[in-house]
Each structure stands twice: as structure tokens, then as C-alpha cells.
Amino acid sequence: MNPILGWALAAIGVVAGWKAYGWPGVVLAVTIAVFWLLIQFSRALRVMKNAGEAPVGQVGSTVMLNSKLREGLTLMQVLAMTKSLGRRVDPQADTWAWADEGGSEVTLEFRRGKLATWTLVRPPTPPDPPSP
């Protein structure tokens, strides 16, 4: 959810609570907003815990990861998909990479916190031996 929209909804809830029930309504609205923030925090911790237990920059299949990617994903959503922390490729740009056992690698570039571009690089396959 867009943070501006989320905070706007929380403010509207506080105002609506005040108009409808006075101070108990404000307390209810603030309680709901804090509960929502705790749910988001818990989700982020779970994703980071799972990603922290896996080898850095490793994923089961880069081809499957490549098929699930789309513009606009956040790094947290990508970490939930890969279940692994990415390997930092470029310290200047927000660029991360994941590889699989076969030597394929997916490089992701984030701009303003959202996935902008990604590239799948597969190792060259050896030519088939000539048949006799």
C-alpha cells in the first residue's frame, strides 16, 4: 500500500472516530492503525528471517524467478519470492543478483524502491557432438 494513502486513511479514521464517538472513537482508530503497523512489521520480520537463513544470492531456479518478476515489485516482495538475500552487484545503483546451481543469474535493478528492470543471463550451452 502507498504510505501516503495509508496515513491518509489513518487520519480519516481518527477524524471519523472523533465525530462518531469522541475520545473512545479516537482511541479505537489509533488502536486499529497500530495493529495494522504491527502486522506489517511482523510480515517484514518473517520475510527477513526466512531470507537470512538461506545462502546469499542463491535461488532454486532463476528461470522461475524471472517468470514471476514484474515491474513495480518492492525488494521485500522479491525477497519473499526468492527466500534469499540478494548479492549486491552495484553499490552506486540499487542492483541485486540471484544465481542458481546451473550458473544462470538474474540481475534486478530497483529505482525509487520499485523493480524497474531485470535481466536473465544463462550460461552458454556446449554444442552437441557430431553424430557418426
| pLDDT digit string, tens, across residues 51-101 | 888 889 999 999 999 999 999 999 999 999 999 999 999 878 889 999 999
CB atoms under 10 Å from CB of 89, counted, come to 15
User: What share of the chain in percent tops pLDDT 70?
Assistant: 98
| pLDDT digit string, tens, across residues 6-50 | 889 999 999 999 999 999 999 999 999 999 999 999 999 999 998
Q: Look at residue 6 in the predicted model and tell me its pLDDT.
A: 86
| pLDDT digit string, tens, across residues 51-64 | 888 889 999 999 99
- Rounded Cα distance, 81 and 65, in Å: 8
Q: Where are the domains of the chain?
A: 3-51, 55-121
- Rounded Cα distance, 34 and 38, in Å: 6
* CATH number of this structure's domain 55-121: 3.30.1450.10
